Structure 1
Amino acid sequence: MAPHLMEEDHLFTAQDEIWVDLKIEAEQMAAETAGDRDLDLLGRELLPKFLEATILRCNSLEECLATHLSQKLGWSAAPAERWYSVLLTAFREGRSANGERVGDLIRRDLVVVKERDPACPTLAHALLHYKGYQGLQVYRAANWLWRKGQTSLASIFQSRASEVFGMDIHPAARIGWGIMIDHGTGVVIGETAVVGNGCSLLHGVTLGGTGKEAGDRHPKLGCEVLVGAGASILGNVKIGDGAKIGAAAVVLSDIPAHVTAVGCPAKVIGRAKEENPAKSMDHSCSLVELFRSRTRPLCPFRKLDSQQKGYLGPHEFLTQLQTACQVKISSSEASELFFKMDSDHDGQLTEEEFNKNLPVCVEAFRPPRKQ
């Protein structure tokens, strides 16, 4: 079986386990139509010929992926062989901004698609048919070109990938390893965006700016973040490790680590129970420790105890904190502090938890003394 995500770089060869698995899967797929007499000769030959051209005649994953993608990207003015040579060089020799080999990254991305998508039967299926995976690998080649100073050539890759795969990733964006972009359609990732290792993004996700501002203007996702379909994260905001962003959410401010945020504008409704939401791919409220409200549950799928005492949730915490410190505190600063103080991880602060940490909070937010 193909290995799981690895923490350290590993020098893959043409005979690595993932490539061996792909060849075996392709041979099994090629045999599917062999005995089907309901298909005419051309029909029985179609799948084996396709697999022969894309996987079976190749000697490595780099060669296979470059062959497959170049056929998709090429057109009369720029035929496939020209794309192939650049893609193959990028996959064999390229490195990311953090120094990882692009050859390692294309493997790690492939493994997580198979691990996370229940509709994906094999690694070969993901490589051949999943445009989210394919478009991400074109970005990896474009990113390598961009950082080499070949910005015009990188922009051609971005533009053509947008036309072919329906996803638009700026070559200068920084995207980590073990990334899953499910379906891919409508995904937009801006120039200064950062996507940490192990994240999962569904279709229609936008990591964009808020207007015509220049400079560092796009979102920064931590590691193992799950972003639901149609969500828009706008501006230079930070999304903490292990956070869950609900489908169609519009995020305009920082989101702390290991929480769930939904709505427009997005608000934190609870803590994510999973250690790695991007791997579990759960988009329901079943794995969310929801904050309690005095008047009603924040989610229709669970009944909550509205009588439990304590400072209920980050909003009330912010009010109490500002009163105690006698200064204005931003909601993002308060949210980050709230989750550090919530020692039992139940989505609320008891009076004991609040008072225990209050002296440190007051000192941290105390206005500087005038000299």
Structure 2
Amino acid sequence: MRPFTYERVTDARAAVAAAASRPGAKFISGGTNLLDLMKLEIERPDHLVDISRLPLGTIEELPDGGVRIGAQTANSDVAADARVRTAYPVLSEALLAGASGQLRNMASVGGNLLQRTRCPYFYYTDSGCNKRDPGSGCDAIGGFNRTHAILGASDACIATHPSDMAVAMTALEARIELLDADGSVRTVAIGDFYRLPGDTPHIETVLRPGEMITGVVLPPPPPGGQLYRKVRDRASYEFALVSVAAVVSTDAGTGADGGTGAGGGTATVMDARVAFGGVAHKPWRSLAAEDSLRERPATMATYRAAAEAAMRDAVGQGGNDFKIELARRTLCRTLDEAARTAGAAGTARRRPGRGGNGHGAS
């Protein structure tokens, strides 16, 4: 490892001031990604600002019914929080699918959002990687690209974003709170926070120099069933080939083929949100899929049409061609189960003496 200096801060404004005053500075919290990259000399900070002791580790209910999660909250604490499990089960499921218990105990919410790609060419320092070394090329194009992007890629980079949590937060329309070096605070929708690669894949977010994530705000939970499904090469501690975060609300029917809607027929999808992981340089919100679902029967035919719409612009790189069909099938299965959850909650609400919050089960 290269030599670096280190300081620990206990005040958020002092943290951003310290980072802004040193051009080669990096924030460090759990270090579950940064330390590995430093050992490989992919990340070469001259100065580390330790923000792990900042008082940003709480989960707070907001007056409008939403939730604010501090940036230093451990992933394990978010996944286990009763409010998150009840109102935002898709987020809890994504976190539990994301890593081992040991890593979840160390990793922070802010660090999870900022983790870098697991593209092997990014880690192999003798290979061409525009994300690691701008202008060196992308050896994944024409190389081993089984895990790489099928949507939103460019001639400069076909890497994917690794976070499960960010996919769920995208479906939940989270907003990210940022503190600048001058003390100003701004919020950015998670859909606008990440950048597509274009010609500058090394610029991954809209963060300004010295700016720090202080929290994530989740709006009031959307109605309907929520589900996160992750397809990977092995069942434990692996990054997604394809993942889907779905939120589906129906007209209080069962939400499945042959199910009973409010009028006694097949249920209708009233609204839907769809986000993919493992397919793009950022968590991929599919507005095309959502548009094709609204006010359509909650049937497998509708889900297949949504899957076709979601993958209409997908492009394989040879080794990852299979991911296009895998993404279609994963979306169909996830939508079906989420709609069933929405329908079951609606049925419970209509039965005398039965409760139901309509947000699905964790």
TM-score if structure 1 supplies the norm length? 0.28
Question: For the pair shown, which has the larger CA radius of gyration, 1 or 2?
Answer: 1
Asked which structure has the greater RCO (Cα within 8 Å, sep 6+), the reply is 2
More strand as a share of residues = 2
TM-score if structure 2 supplies the norm length? 0.28
More helix as a share of residues = 1
